[in-house]
Amino acid sequence: MRIAYYNHTSAVSGAEMNLMVTAKHYTKAHPVIFAPEGELLDRARKDWLEVVPLASFNARLSRNPFRLAAGLIGMFKAGWQLSEAVREQDIQVIHANSLRAGMMASFFSWRHRIPVVWHLHDIPPKGLTGWLIRMYAMRAAQSVIAISEPVMKDYLKLGQRIQLVHNGAVLSEFPVKEKEYIREKIRMQLNTPLESKVMTIIGQIAPWKRQEDAIRALHALVQQGEENYLWIVGEPKFRLENELYLEELYRLAERLKVKDYVRFTGFREDIDEICCAADLLLLCSENEPFGRVIIEAMAQGTPVIATSGGGVSEIIQHKRNGLLYTTRNILELVQGIQDIQRNEELRRRICENGIERIKNHFSIEQAAAATEQIYSHLMTGETGTNSGLRQSREVAK
Ligand code: UDP
């Protein structure tokens, strides 16, 4: 089975990470990555994945009618170009790696006649836009994958055409000796004392990720005389607003006088090592659709404290394999951090159960097999069974 994995941007965030890790774990499908030249294709080439470069285009949708028209024309052009490229490549299924990519791949289905899977990574837009997109999905998508229940909720009318497939993580906990070495190495690189307590928050720098809450929690701890370090890992992507937010975070750390305890690392390639070298992962997002970093940290045996909204509670069971807190509630967050730092028995339980959770429900092998099954069903004309949704509901209990 040759699968065209279509990504409409070359920037890399959780959706693209998931694409590459899953693609490497297929046992039946042969993925070919279709995307504009840039970071994604560079990484795919390094991983020896087959790639087809596409021209880049402007598909930014705006309320300004002229910009909106330019964006829509950009989307149609890109959709047309994709339809040409897939026809030349003997492709059996197009796997579009976002809502927008799904729409673009489906515009010209009449031309390429290849089934299209839309992979939804974000909570879909509401209101009229959301309704129009849903109506289009009903008509155009042969199959839709959602990464969590809140992402899936508005699309349940698609019945058996929608499947829940959680992201999967590679289980590769480092052996004890190597762990010690990595811890020393990374802490030295990040100018952080070896014996200090380290929290990390990983992901694109953006207002909705609320890295500011991690800085505020650090401030509260430092005020109570508890020295902690915070590694803010990631870079602003996609929008100017995110660049400005990074500046705001610098200023906040300075204003709260915790600048000496914060490290802004920029984008790192070694997230598994970062997780291994830190003592705790924080996820402070407002309505996180899934949160790949959570499963990556848990797979390393690193405890996680995360906001309870969005898809996070499908992964973390409070006090069993992680801690949940209410978004923006700094007191609750600080309490959670102190509970993990002070209660060794709780910390150990959470770490061990976290690894088990990933092994049993969020392994990359499970995610790759579930996705390949969707391709097979499309090719044989069978419909899905929605077993993913049932499974997730059982898992979340
Ligand atoms: N990531 C990375 N380096 C960084 C920051 C993030 O490799 O400096 C990866 C991280 O390991 C994860 C993905 O980017 O696989 C982020 O996914 P998540 O779903 O947590 O957040 P998103 O940024 O997609 O909203």
Q: Are 5 and 31 in contact (CB under 8 A)?
A: yes
**pLDDT average, residue stretch 360-386:** 86
Helix (H) or strand (E) segment spanning residue 36: strand 30-36
Q: How confident is the model at residue 70 (pLDDT cuts 50, 70, 90)?
A: confident
pLDDT tens-digit readout, 254-310: 999 999 999 999 999 999 999 999 999 999 999 999 999 999 999 999 999 999 989
Q: 274: which 2 tokens?
A: 């970062």
Say yes or no to pLDDT of 396 above 90: no
Share of the chain above pLDDT 90, in %: 78
Say yes or no to pLDDT of 329 above 60: yes
Query: What domains appear along the chain, each with residue ranges and CATH number?
Result: 2-168+363-396 (3.40.50.2000), 176-361 (3.40.50.2000)
Ligand 1, atom 17, residue with closest C-alpha: 14
Report the alpha-carbon distance of residue 275 to residue 293 in Å, rounded. Answer: 9
Cβ of 273 below 6 Å from ligand 1? no
Report the alpha-carbon distance of residue 83 to residue 86 in Å, rounded. Answer: 5
pLDDT tens-digit readout, 95-127: 999 999 999 999 999 999 999 999 999 988 888
CA of 150 to the centre of ligand 1 (A): 20
How many other C-beta atoms are found inside a 10 Å radius of the C-beta of residue 86? 26
176: DSSP letter: H
Ligand 1, atom 6, residue with closest C-alpha: 203
**pLDDT average, residue stretch 40-58:** 91
Cβ of 115 below 6 Å from ligand 1? no
Q: How confident is the model at residue 60 (pLDDT cuts 50, 70, 90)?
A: low
Q: How confident is the model at residue 395 (pLDDT cuts 50, 70, 90)?
A: very low
Q: 218: which 2 tokens?
A: 């650090």
Q: 178: which 2 tokens?
A: 């190597």
Cβ of 59 below 6 Å from ligand 1? no
CA of 87 to the centre of ligand 1 (A): 32
Ligand 1, atom 21, residue with closest C-alpha: 14
How many other C-beta atoms are found inside a 10 Å radius of the C-beta of residue 72? 12
Who contacts 303 (Cβ-Cβ below 8 Å, separation ≥6)? 279, 280, 281, 297, 322, 323, 340, 347, 350, 351, 354
**pLDDT average, residue stretch 28-39:** 95
**pLDDT average, residue stretch 80-108:** 94
Cβ of 17 below 6 Å from ligand 1? yes
pLDDT tens-digit readout, 214-252: 999 999 999 999 999 999 999 998 789 999 999 999 999
| Ligand 1 pocket test target in 7, 12, 16, 17 with most atoms within 8 Å of CB | 17
Ligand 1, atom 24, residue with closest C-alpha: 14
